[in-house]
Amino acid sequence: MSLNVLHFKEMLLIRKAELEKILFNISSEINDINKCEIKDEGDFAAASMDSGRDYQIYLNQKKELAEIEEALKKIEEGRYGICEMCEEPIQEERLKIKPHAKYCIICREIIEKEGK
């Protein structure tokens, strides 16, 4: 398999920059909510819900950022596009959709069935 690694590296770097901006904005919003003096129980409940939802989004985005950074490291080490489970090449079509994929489709399905 001959991957255009530079193309995937560019995709990963663009997404990394997007995620860093999103994470910065969410952090700022959470900090702003925490600084607010909320006097009404309804406002507190709404702010808590917003803060909880923002925090869950933050965690998901942070996880994706870590996976992207790991993929970029694999590119530098010459290990990009190899399934971490079966060590076979990950299909290029899969990498086009999820350039930070760790597993080929077959192994990903096995992992999902096992609930990992």
- Return the domain boundaries, the chain: 5-114
Tokens of 47: 């702010």
Distance (Å, whole) CA 88 – CA 81 = 9
What CATH class is the domain 5-114? mainly alpha
Tens of pLDDT, residue by residue over 67-80, are: 999 999 999 999 99
6-63, pLDDT tens digit by residue?
999 999 999 999 999 999 988 887 777 666 665 666 655 565 566 677 778 889 999 9
Name 89's bridge partners. 82
Q: Is there a contact between 112 and 103 (Cβ–Cβ < 8 Å)?
A: no
What is 6-44 written as a DSSP string? HHHHHHHHHHHHHHHHHHHHHHHHHHHHHHS---SHHHH
